C-alpha cells in the first residue's frame, strides 16, 4: 500500500535534522509513556504484532503522520490497533478527552470483540527455512514493480530498479502476511545494493544504497 509513510527517496522534504549528541532519549515525559503503552498494546492487549503496528502507521492520514511528531504517530497507531481489535470504539478517545474538559459527551459503545487469534510460532522474527535461497551473493536482481494492496516493506523508490545481492540475511517472518494475520510465511532476506544513478537518474550524486528485501520482492535480472 503506497502511503505517506513510504517517504524514502522522495524530494522536497529538506535536510534531515541531526540530533544533538546529548539529546535525551525522550525529551518529554509523555513520549516515554507512549513508548511503553504502545509496546503493551502491541504485545499483550490488542493481540497484534510489530507488522500490524507498522500497518497502523501507514493508515494514518497525512496531517496526523506529519504534524504530530514521531511519538504522536505511535499514539495514533496504538489507538488504531485498539479500535481494530474492538477494545475501543472509533471516536472513544476523543469523547473521553472532551468529557475531561467538562463537555457533555456520550462515549460511543464498544463494538463486538475483534481481537485476532495471533500467537507467534517462535520468539523474535528469525525463522529456519528448509528451502535454499533463490538468489546468490553478487547476483543481479530487480525489485518487482508492484503496489500491494496491504502492508509491504518494499519501498517505492527501489521498485522496478536493478541492484546486486550483497549479502544473504537470516530468513524472517514475512511482513506482508503477518501484518494481516494470514500466517508468518517466513522468507529469505537479502541485502541488495543499488547505485544512486540507477534509482534517481544520471544527474544523481554517485553513491550506493543498500536495503534489506524479502525474496518475494525480487526477480532475477541477470
148 or 178, higher pLDDT: 178
Lowest-confidence pick of 25-29, 168-172, 188-192:
25-29
* Residue, of 119 and 34, whose pLDDT is higher: 34
Q: Is the pLDDT assigned to residue 197 strictly greater than 90?
A: yes
pLDDT, residue 124, reads 92
Please give the pLDDT value at position 5: 85
Least confident of 10-19, 28-37, 39-48, 65-74: 10-19
Confidence of residue 161 (pLDDT cuts 50, 70, 90): very high
pLDDT at 114 over 90: no
Specify the pTM. 0.89
- 78: closest CA among 100, 93, 67, 98? 93
Euclidean distance between the first and the last CA atom of the chain, given in angstroms as a whole number: 28
In percent, the amount of the chain with pLDDT more than 90 equals 74
Write down the CATH number for the domain with range 140-220.
2.30.30.50
Mean pLDDT of 193-203: 96
Per-residue burial over 129-168, b if 16 or more Cβ lie within 10 Å, else e, is: eeeebebeeebebbbbeeeeeebbbbbbbbbebbbbbeeb
Q: What is the mean pLDDT of residues 33-48?
A: 90
If you ran DSSP here, which 8-state letter would residue 41 be given? I
Angle between helices 29-40 and 69-84 (to 10 degrees): 30
- The answer to whether the CB of 180 falls within 8 A of the CB of 202 is no
* Domain ranges in the chain with CATH number 1.10.472.20: 1-113
At residue 1 the predicted structure's pLDDT band, cuts being 50, 70 and 90, is low
With a pLDDT cut of 70, the percent of the chain lying above it is 100
Distance between CA atoms of residues 120 and 184, nearest Å: 8
Residue 213 cell numbers, joined: 528485501
Lowest-pLDDT choice from 6-15, 128-137, 141-150, 203-212? 6-15
**208 near 196, Cβ under 8 Å?**
yes
All cell numbers assigned to 34: 507512549
Average pLDDT score over the chain: 93
User: What span, in angstroms and rounded, lies between the C-alpha atoms of 179 and 116?
Assistant: 11
Predicted pLDDT of residue 128: 95
Residue 2 has pLDDT above 80, yes or no: no
Angle at 173 between CA 1 and CA 215, to 5 degrees: 70
Average the pLDDT over 68-72 and give the result: 93
Question: Residue 211: phi, psi to the nearest 5?
Answer: -145, 140
Architecture label for domain 1-113: Orthogonal Bundle (1.10)
Amino acid at each position: 500500500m503506497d502511503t505517506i509513510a513510504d517517504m524514502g527517496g522522495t524530494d522536497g522534504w529538506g535536510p534531515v535534522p541531526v540530533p544533538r549528541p546529548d539529546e535525551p532519549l525522550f525529551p518529554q515525559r509523555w513520549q516515554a509513556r507512549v513508548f511503553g503503552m504502545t509496546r503493551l498494546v502491541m504485545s499483550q492487549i490488542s493481540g497484534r504484532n510489530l507488522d500490524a503496528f507498522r500497518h497502523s502507521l501507514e493508515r494514518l492520514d497525512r496531517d496526523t503522520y506529519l504534524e504530530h511528531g514521531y511519538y504522536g504517530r505511535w499514539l495514533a497507531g496504538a489507538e488504531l490497533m485498539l479500535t481494530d481489535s474492538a477494545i475501543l470504539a472509533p471516536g472513544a478517545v476523543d469523547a473521553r478527552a472532551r468529557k475531561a474538559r467538562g463537555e457533555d459527551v456520550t462515549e460511543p459503545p464498544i463494538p463486538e470483540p475483534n481481537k485476532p487469534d495471533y500467537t507467534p510460532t517462535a520468539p523474535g522474527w528469525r525463522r529456519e527455512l528448509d528451502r535454499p535461497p533463490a538468489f546468490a551473493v553478487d547476483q543481479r536482481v530487480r525489485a518487482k514493480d508492484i503496489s500491494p494492496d496491504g502492508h509491504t516493506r518494499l519501498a517505492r523508490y527501489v521498485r522496478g530498479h536493478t541492484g546486486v545481492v550483497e549479502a544473504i540475511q537470516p530468513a524472517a517472518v514475512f511482513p506482508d502476511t503477518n501484518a494481516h494475520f494470514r500466517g508468518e510465511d517466513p522468507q529469505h532476506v537479502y541485502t541488495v545494493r543499488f547505485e544512486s544513478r540507477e534509482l534517481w537518474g544520471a544527474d544523481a550524486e554517485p553513491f550506493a544504497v543498500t536495503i534489506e528485501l524479502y525474496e518475494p520482492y525480487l526477480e532475477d535480472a541477470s
